[in-house]
Amino acid sequence: MKKKVLLMGASGSGKTSMRSVIFSNNQASLTSRLGATIDVEQNHVRFLGDLILNLWDCGGQDSFMDSYLSTQRSTIFQHVGVLIYVFDVESREMEKDLWYYHDCLESLKKFSPDAVVFLLVHKMDLVRHKRKQKLEEKTAAIQKASGDVGITVFGTSIYDESLYKAWSRIVHTLIPNAAILSKHLTTFAEACSATEVILFERTTFLVIATSQRTNTAPSINQTSNGSSSSDLTTADGSAAQESDPHQLQPTRYERTSELVKAFKLSCMRAREEFRCLEMELPEYTAVLDELTRNTYIMVIVHDPTIETTAIKINIRLARQKFE
């Protein structure tokens, strides 16, 4: 039985919107046209070629929520691998939202005690002032409602890269050979004398692995250890930059996902196909190219003596190993 990814939260919190931006390549600005989800919409999303995500988008209207927690309880909460619960940061009914969340968590504990729980405090773009403080307040309230369940909280918005950061972490927990991929990637980075190498999934452009570096910001390879943690979209990463000679931005992975996806959409509108990207700047060289049928690789090199062609040859030679 394939484990489910449950997407839950109050009606209008943004569940279907984020799903359509990530998996259906929809533009964020067009999500206002989406109708409310009626009952549960089941989707089998193909990811990395062979990995099928069994995504259950649960309509959030009260009548549906009541039914998930009563007559449909075992159907909904059985065989869950990941629960993603979405809160609208500007919700005027936070108490009710938390009450439903708590009940869902109780059902999850009963039917799928090993499920990993992610909380998205969503629509962060609507918060104009004291964004970090607001996220911390919501996180504290959610943690209280979660009791002893280990959770990971992200502040997200469909209008910026924060959505990619959260979903990259979520899918990372579902990739069976993620650790091996990271190991291969680190070996490849060393062979190319690269500062950094990042692996993206082809259709979603979510980050699936990064090469391990000893002196920079936290990488995607760090997964939730069961304790609660919060990723603030506004974090400036100054601590990470202090020890990083290249001053790499902590949000660089998800920014790349967002930018490349937007670029791919532009290419599609112009009836062109996105193939690869090369940038030769005085400070560094960046190559983004197809690695396997289902992945793209980005290689960042700061050594000016290394030619772009050499990087491209290395990518071609590594293909077989990653296929």
Question: At 41, is the secondary structure helix, strand, or coil?
Answer: strand
Taking the complex as a whole, the smallest distance from the CB of residue 9 to ligand GTP amounts, in Å, to: 6
CA distances from 190 to 185, 197, 270, 306 (A): 9, 9, 37, 13
* Residue 134 binds ligand GTP (CB under 6 A): no
By CB under 6 A, which span of 53-61, 203-211, 279-287, 311-319 interacts with ligand GTP? 53-61
Name the token pair of 172. Answer: 């990372």
Among 1, 32, 148, 242, interactor with ligand GTP by CB under 6 A:
32
CB of 36 or CB of 279, closer to ligand GTP: 36
Question: At 194, is the secondary structure helix, strand, or coil?
Answer: coil
* Residue 67 binds ligand GTP (CB under 6 A): no
* Residue 16 binds ligand GTP (CB under 6 A): yes
Binding letters toward ligand GTP, positions 269-288, x by CB under 6 A = --------------------
Residues between 143 and 172 that touch ligand GTP (CB under 6 A) = 157-159
* Residue 233 binds ligand GTP (CB under 6 A): no
Pairing type for strands 295-301 and 51-58 reads: unpaired
Cross-sheet strand order for the sheet of 51-58: 40-47, 51-58, 4-9, 80-88, 116-122, 151-155, 229-231
Residues between 107 and 126 that touch ligand GTP (CB under 6 A) = 122-123, 125-126
Determine the Cα–Cα distance for residues 14 and 219; give it in Å rounded to an integer. Answer: 27
Task: Tell me the number of residues near ligand GTP by CB under 6 A.
Answer: 23
By CB under 6 A, which span of 11-19, 76-84, 133-141, 262-270 interacts with ligand GTP? 11-19
Determine the Cα–Cα distance for residues 1 and 80; give it in Å rounded to an integer. Answer: 10
By CB under 6 A, which span of 7-15, 166-174, 256-264, 302-310 interacts with ligand GTP? 7-15
Give the distance from CA 2 to its chain's centroid.
Answer: 20
CB of 91 or CB of 146, closer to ligand GTP: 91
Determine the Cα–Cα distance for residues 47 and 23; give it in Å rounded to an integer. Answer: 9
CB of 20 or CB of 221, closer to ligand GTP: 20
Answer whether 12's CB lies under 8 Å from 34's CB: no
Among 4, 6, 14, 145, interactor with ligand GTP by CB under 6 A:
14
By CB under 6 A, which span of 57-65, 74-82, 270-278, 294-302 interacts with ligand GTP? 57-65
Quote the longest CA-to-CA distance of the chain: 66
* Residue 63 binds ligand GTP (CB under 6 A): no
Contacts 24+ apart (CB under 8 A), 130-137: 131/155, 131/233, 131/234, 132/232, 132/234, 132/235, 134/89, 135/89, 135/230, 135/232, 135/233, 135/234, 136/230, 136/232
What are the residues binding ligand GTP (CB under 6 A)? 9, 11-17, 31-32, 34, 36-37, 59-61, 122-123, 125-126, 157-159
